[in-house]
Copies of this chain bind each other. A is one copy, B any other.
Amino acid sequence: MADFEKKMAKLVNIIGGLLERKQYAQLKGLLLPMESADIALLMDELPGTSIPILFRLLPKELAAEVFVELEPEHQEQLIKGFTNAELKEVLDELYLDDAVDIIEEMPANVVRRILAHSEPEMRKSINEMLKYPEDSAGSIMTTEFIDLKRDMTVEDCFKRIRRNASDVETINVCYVVDKNRTLLGYVTIRDLFLADYEDEIGQIMDTNLISASTLDDQESVAERFGRYDFLAMPVVDTEGRLVGIITADDVMDVIQEEATEDMEKMAAMLPSDKPYLRASIWETWKSRIPWLMLLMLSATFTSLIITRFESALASCMILTSFITMLSGTGGNSGSQTSVAVIRALSLREIRFSDILVVIWKEIRVAVVCGLSLAVVNFGKMMLVDRMLFGNPAVTPLVAGVVCCTLFFTVVCAKTVGAVLPMLADRLGLDPAVMASPFITTIVDALSLLIYFGVASALIV
């Protein structure tokens, strides 16, 4: 992708030059054949003052497509500079779900102006969609699709599609509703092509419906898209009436969002909606400090354990040197397992009923990992710490204590790492929270207890 970025940087320069020399015809010729997403990327890179100029060079439809892809601050700036007529023109070209996405990012006065200049029908739909909770199926659906009646013929459908093709988000799937708008079935454009012109929709439609409800969580919608390889899914209200559809391109965004959210939770952050650079220092602090604070305070337990064994440590100071190695290795072992289990849960490869299988698997892996680590570490302590660095305090007995602790720590860590996310899932909590940092804190305490237990038994 480095090539792509170089190309873009070059284009930014060229466009800057053309703008300076006011060579608008060449500029237009340069922009027209480009993808809207790329034009938006270029505009976001150029100085803010040139955005309205470029925007006005674009034909209406392309301008609207570019508008959707711009950064919110540039959208806001453009809207503020628009005449009422210009604003209306752009709004008329927008798909409803894009309009809603934009409105959600705008300050209240801009939202009022947008709503005031939308067609009454669009305004009504926007207001409807703004009511759906964030991350619900209702909030990502579009209300522009092709609906058919069961007594239409295939030929009627073709006519209807031809009439509406330019206003709907997709024509690849059409939905069949009755007069109360209850969803009855669907036909794909492919079904229509394979049928005879005279066939009735009621006969060829697929009634085996998998739909989302407006309040369903977007993550579960994405999961169903993946399971059934859908390109579109109907959304019905609580009375089974068709209110919208969700398309694959929106689901791809959802999958990325959900993966980001899981990663953030796994790294002890509260998930945030904003792209990295757009979050303020204060917002970033707010998303990071709660877990840092909680985990720091819970480390009081490990301090207490160490204080408790202070005299034992004082009599064999060398043991102190291996505390960070032991808690580090325990933490890493535990997070490997917890992340693998969390991901498998979220991809529905495993569920709570598999808990015994998972624990059994992790214990066996832990035994093999623990043994390999202990053996290598024993060798390392003898050869490197004792012989190479000439530290006489590293006796075979000390190495034995450390390696014994290492083995049991890895086994405990992997067991805890497997159990906690599964329990969280069972209790309806998000398993992603049970990842590395949380596990690490527990494993730190466990590894110290094991360490001092083994040491007391064998040395002190």
- Chain A residues with CB under 8 Å of chain B are 1, 5, 33-35, 37, 158, 161-162, 165-166, 171-172, 189-190, 193-194, 207-208, 210, 220, 222-223, 225-231, 248-249, 251-253, 255-256, 259-260, 262-264, 266-269, 275-277, 281-282, 284-285, 288-289, 291-293, 295-297, 299-300, 302-304, 306-307, 310, 313-314, 317-318, 320-325, 327-329, 331-333, 335-336, 338-341, 343-344, 347-351, 354, 357-358, 361, 364-365, 368-369, 372-373, 376-377, 380, 384-385, 389, 391, 406, 435-437, 440-441, 444, 448
Contacts and interface: CB of A to CB of B under 8 A. Distances in A.
A24 B23 CA distance: 75
Contacts of A310: 317-318, 320-321
A300 B225 contact: no
Contact of A5 (B263, B331, B351): B351
Given A1-B220, A161-B193, A266-B266, A303 B321 contact: yes
Given A268-B336, A361-B281, A328 B444 contact: yes
B262 A248 contact: no
Given A276-B358, A288-B369, A296-B406, 18 more contacts: A35-B228, A161-B193, A165-B193, A165-B194, A189-B189, A266-B266, A266-B339, A275-B349, A276-B343, A277-B354, A277-B357, A289-B368, A293-B376, A300-B384, A304-B389, A324-B327, A327-B327, A328-B441
A5 B307 CA distance: 49
B281 A328 contact: no
A269 B336 contact: yes
Contacts of A435: 267
A158 to B, nearest CB: 8
Main secondary structure of the interface of A (DSSP, over half): helix
Contacts of A369: 285, 288-289, 292
Contacts of A331: 331, 437, 440
